[in-house]
Amino acid sequence: MNIVNSNLSFRSTLNWGNNPEVVVLHHAGAKVCSIGDIHRWHLENGWCGCGYHYLVRKDGTVYMGRNEKAVGAHCPGYNSKSIGICAEGDFNVEIMGQTQYSALLELTRSMLSKYGINKIYGHRELYSTDCPGENFPLDRIRNEVAGGSGRLVYPGYLIKMNPDLKDNNVKAVQEKLMSRGYSVGRCGDDGFFGGGTLEAVKRFQRDSGLAVDGIVGINTWNRLFG
Ligand SMILES: [Zn+2]
């Protein structure tokens, strides 16, 4: 995926501490627009600048807006707990082309994996607006990301014991283990991979006929979430 650093200058200091739990999808409501256009429009709204974290253009190029760690300005109530992605175009009147769709899908997937989350919303599902337009391929994206089941996609790295690091993917593993009857110890699904979680992973692997190494790689992940 080609992500362009847009080097936008924001009017004042951004608020940091965005903690993504969902991805919110938008359209620009304009058939043609650059990240610079959006930045200017949002400055004119009196905001610090571009309120989205990413813009996906029709040619499939992805532009950085606000830093992912910065609180967004795209969906009241969700700005401090979401990644905001905008697609160039007006999908009340247009149909999204395949190049843009593929880039949007890949970006959305990578955000879900990065943050260990699985919820995708269209702006209109969270706020009174018609954004991202009635032709926006919201269900298609959800179905492709989730395989139709809402399951989490494997994040692409080995999830191992590390009692000092909080990780949403560890929390997801713990929740899943517990829902399948494997206790992860007294701390529960706290997102820290300690001894209790290690033993639970090993028990699950043993019961599932997997290699018993206490590490959640793609096979263990898929068996757990599949
Ligand atoms: Zn929107």
CB 77 within 8 A of CB 127: yes
Sign for the CA dihedral angle at 178, 78, 19, 67 comes to: positive
Average pLDDT for the chain: 93
Residues 7, 148: Cα–Cα separation, whole Å: 37
Among 53-67, 107-121, 138-152, 159-173, which range has the highest average pLDDT? 53-67
pLDDT of residue 149: 46
Q: What is the pLDDT of residue 4?
A: 96
pLDDT value at residue 101: 96
Mean pLDDT confidence for 152-179: 87
Give the span between the Cα atoms of 121 and 50, in whole angstroms: 20
CATH of 162-225, one of 3.40.50.1860, 3.20.20.140, 2.60.40.420, 1.10.101.10: 1.10.101.10
Per-residue pLDDT at 151 exceeds 80: no
pLDDT at 127 over 60: yes
pLDDT over 60 (residue 148): no
Angle between the N-to-C axes of helices 195-208 and 168-179, in degrees from 0 to 180, rounded to the nearest 10: 50
Read off the amino acid at residue 127.
Answer: Y
Of 48-57, 164-173, 187-196, the least confident: 164-173
* Alpha carbon of 185 to ligand 1 centroid (Å): 42
Whether 61 shows a pLDDT value over 60: the answer reads yes
208 CA → ligand 1 middle, Å: 44
How many Å apart are CA 42 and CA 11, to the nearest integer? 11
Percent of the chain topping pLDDT 90: 81
User: Per the structure block, which two tokens stand in for 152?
Assistant: 């989490």
Give the pLDDT of residue 157.
Answer: 84
Rounded distance from Cα 213 to ligand 1 centre (Å): 45
State CA 92 to chain mean position distance. Answer: 24
CATH number, span 3-146: 3.40.80.10
The CA 204 to ligand 1 mean position distance, Å, reads 42
Find the 116 Cα to ligand 1 centroid distance in Å. 23
Measured in angstroms, how far is the CA atom of residue 8 from the centroid of ligand 1? Answer: 20
Domain with CATH 3.40.80.10 in the chain: 3-146
Residue at 115: amino acid letter: Y
